[in-house]
Amino acid sequence: MNQPWVLPTILSQPREAEAAQLLRQYFAAPAGQPAFSGSRFERFAGGGDREQVANVVTADDVIAVSMLSVHVPGGSALRLLGDVEKAVSEDISRLLALLPTDLELADASDDQLAPADELWTVLRRQGKLGPTTTSKLLARKRPQLLPVMDSVVLNAVGHRRSTKTNFYRSLRDSLKADDSVLLKRLHRLRTESGVGPDISDIRIFDVVVWMDGTRHRRE
């Protein structure tokens, strides 16, 4: 049973204008230079879920996750890319093929998320891939379905890795709670900020909560 989250107030209705401004700041690119490299995470090299590469981890994916301030060790990268131990990359491709690129987290059943749990385990076994880096690799491959897990966001929503609470399912349940009020708010924030329809609901969630949380750390 997933434990209910306490959503940060930045996602409340009275602070929608403030949340939209945080999104604009994150995705801003004055003179072509992004204010935050992570703003190119989904879009770099055409995206990790485009048809030609949707079911394989590529060098572009490894570069993309570095834009979110994590590092994939060289040995792990070689296994993920199929340069060594091809059985690993084949297993990853098999599991990615079970996760539709057009399935959104809010619409996913537990059965549809099951391959993501297995994929998580496969990635975590590859050298020194920690949970944050693993989540970012998976988010690169399935940005509509699998969210980024960052310590700032985990703390903000009260998610504890030491419990059996599952982040994917807890976020899905939060999106759908109370007639999908959070999901509808994220839709509005994407529109109001002008970020673009290619940025997923769960990435809007992640960026707003992360921007608000890191701002408070600096204050």
Is residue 78 one of the residues assigned to a domain?
A: yes
Residue whose entry in the numeric block shows the structure tokens 């700041």: 25
pTM for this structure?
0.94
What are the phi and psi torsion angles at 33 (to 5°)?
A: -95, 115
- Residue 148 structural domain: 9-218
Neighbours of 199 (CB within 10 A): 19
Is residue 2 one of the residues assigned to a domain?
A: no
Q: Are 3 and 163 in contact (CB under 8 A)?
A: yes
Q: Are 172 and 106 in contact (CB under 8 A)?
A: yes
Q: Are 168 and 105 in contact (CB under 8 A)?
A: yes
Is residue 101 one of the residues assigned to a domain?
A: yes
Tokens at 64, concatenated: 């993309």
Q: Are 71 and 133 in contact (CB under 8 A)?
A: yes
Instruction: Please state the domain count of the chain.
Output: 1
* Ordered per-residue pLDDT tens for the chain, 219 residues: 455 688 999 999 999 999 999 999 999 999 889 999 999 999 999 999 999 999 999 999 999 999 999 999 999 999 999 998 899 999 999 999 999 999 999 999 999 999 999 999 999 998 789 999 999 999 999 999 999 999 999 999 999 876 656 999 999 999 999 999 999 999 999 999 999 999 999 999 999 999 999 985 543
